[in-house]
Structure 1
């Protein structure tokens, strides 16, 4: 299993829109991407424009299939209208011993 953290800074006044969009994307992922397990949206208590989406995937291949999909491209294109700067992400992989 891997976890991916997506870090965003949302333009002021677009916080609710970002949260609502997350809900729609989450529903889409659950219905359409076999390797997707779940995701949570977190908001900073010190800066309400900063968000983290923490997602769980069965494996790296499942995540890679998503990030090359048209759905991902559509979401990132839309996101450019409400996100400040460039989002970042980190992959956390569980290593089986």
Structure 2
């Protein structure tokens, strides 16, 4: 299993829109991407425009299939309208 942390800074005034979009993307992933386990959305307590999406995947391969999909490209294209700057991500692997 791997975990991926996506770090975002959302443009002021778009926080609710970002949170609502997350819910839709989460449901889509659960229905359409085998190997996707779950994701949770976190908001910074010191800066309400900073977010972390913490996701769980069966493997690095299943995550890579997602980030090369049209659905991912569509999501990132839309995100450019409400995200401030370039998001970053980190991939972590569970130690057994």
TM bracket (short chain): over 0.9
Q: Deviations 1:41-81 (Å, cap 9, x if unpaired)?
A: 00000000000000000000000000000000000000000
Please name the residue that 1:27 is paired with.
27
SS in 2 for 1:3: strand
Gapped regions of structure 2 (runs ≥ 5): none
Please name the residue that 1:4 is paired with.
4
The CA RMSD over aligned residues, in Å, is: 0.5
**Displacement of 1:29:** 0.1
Given the two structures, how large is their TM-score scaled by the length of structure 1?
A: 0.98
Given the two structures, how large is their TM-score scaled by the length of structure 2?
A: 0.99
Please name the residue that 2:88 is paired with.
88
**Displacement of 1:17:** 0.1
Please name the residue that 1:48 is paired with.
48
Segments ≥4 residues shifted beyond 3 Å? none
Gapped regions of structure 1 (runs ≥ 5): none
Q: Paired residues, what number?
A: 96
